[in-house]
């Protein structure tokens, strides 16, 4: 299940960490002192190169940098920071003794958000940083909203599993990755037995309860950092198990089958027993053959699921697609 951990935590009330780049040791000490007094966490360095190195190791929402520094100056540092892939936006404040308009324009064009003419006055610096924090908070809110929209676009609203759109975008990438690195790959097609009967006898609301609890049980049984599940349609789901050989895929399917049938499902109109049928399709130990396509892998799992249902349901059927069988699986 996707989450929002990738969005850096930042609110208007928090005090973002500041990276201060200033070559003059006295100025650096004084600025560090009153920035800390204002409640900021401060890392101070003496030149642009050291600041850039710090940026590669940690995300600093605010950069305060002097223009005139030996080696990499503040303008070059701003340009370099704008070209980096970071966890969030960096608000860059450029300190300079140059107050000519062409210098100010050059600093802003290099990537600075604001500038402050030396000598720096404490209250003015804090006021400009507060303005920067408002910009950072707005940027964070926008990124969080975009992330929420992305999650909504790739997940099934009822169950929280990925949707079919995500499945058809991501599974081809997973097949190619396993092929490139010669990793095995297993997929499991499964659905709830006699689900129509549950809807007919208990109502669609109870059916929704079953679907939600069904996915929740499955998700608790898989590796959260690699395995994933998508709703293929109706009560049918597809699970993707990267770097998983056939025997391990069968083991996972059987474990989930036992978990589903091991206890009743609670619905708003009463408890009900639920079972599920499974079809496992796995590549050979060295990964997908060049002839094996995503459609063939899904079709193989679907055929195994069909066999499980034909044989009485509440069971698992599987197939390992060896290289010599890849063409047959695509047929």
In angstroms, the CA 106 to CA 75 distance is 8
Mark 125-157 as b/e (b = at least 16 C-beta within 10 Å).
bbebbeebbeebbebbeebeeebeeeeeebbbe
Which of these is catalytic: 22, 174, 235, 245? Answer: 235
For the question of residue 235 being annotated catalytic, the response is yes
Nearest to 170 by CA among 158, 181, 148, 155: 155
Nearest to 288 by CA among 190, 165, 189, 173: 173
In angstroms, the CA 74 to CA 176 distance is 43
CA distances, 23 to each of 6, 27, 29, 101, 114 (Å): 34, 8, 10, 24, 20
Q: Are 209 and 266 in contact (CB under 8 A)?
A: yes
Which residue, chain included where needed, has tokens 């590549």? 283
* Residues identified as active-site: 235
């Amino acid at each position: 299940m996707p989450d929002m951990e990738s969005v850096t935590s930042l609110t208007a009330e928090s005090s973002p960490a500041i990276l201060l780049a200033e070559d003059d040791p006295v100025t650096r000490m004084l600025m560090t002192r009153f920035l800390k007094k204002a409640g900021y966490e401060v890392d101070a360095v003496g030149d642009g190169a050291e600041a850039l190195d710090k940026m590669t190791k940690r995300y600093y929402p605010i950069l305060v940098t002097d223009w005139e520094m030996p080696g990499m100056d503040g303008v070059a540092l701003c340009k370099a920071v704008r070209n980096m892939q970071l966890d969030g936006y960096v608000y860059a404040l450029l300190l300079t003794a140059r107050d000519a308009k062409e210098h100010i324009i050059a600093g802003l064009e290099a990537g600075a958000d604001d500038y402050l003419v030396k000598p720096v006055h404490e209250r003015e610096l804090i006021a400009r940083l507060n303005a920067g924090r408002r910009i950072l908070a707005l940027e964070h809110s926008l990124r969080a909203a975009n992330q929420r929209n992305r999650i909504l676009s790739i997940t099934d609203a009822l169950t929280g599993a990925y949707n079919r759109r995500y499945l058809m975008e991501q599974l081809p990438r997973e097949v190619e990755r396993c092929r490139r690195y010669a990793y095995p790959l297993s997929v499991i097609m499964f659905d709830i037995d006699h689900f129509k009967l549950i809807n007919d006898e208990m109502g669609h609301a109870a059916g929704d309860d079953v679907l939600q609890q069904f996915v929740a049980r499955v998700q608790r049984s898989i590796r959260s950092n690699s395995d994933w599940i998508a709703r293929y349609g109706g009560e049918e789901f597809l699970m993707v198990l990267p770097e998983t050989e056939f025997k391990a895929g069968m083991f996972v399917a059987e474990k989930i089958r036992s978990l589903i049938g091991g206890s009743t499902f609670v619905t708003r109109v009463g408890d009900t027993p639920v079972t599920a049928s499974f079809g496992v399709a796995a590549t050979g130990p060295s990964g997908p053959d060049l002839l094996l396509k995503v459609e063939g892998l899904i079709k193989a799992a679907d055929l195994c699921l069909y066999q499980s249902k034909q044989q009485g349901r509440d069971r698992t059927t599987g197939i390992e697609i060896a290289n010599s069988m890849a063409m047959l699986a695509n047929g």
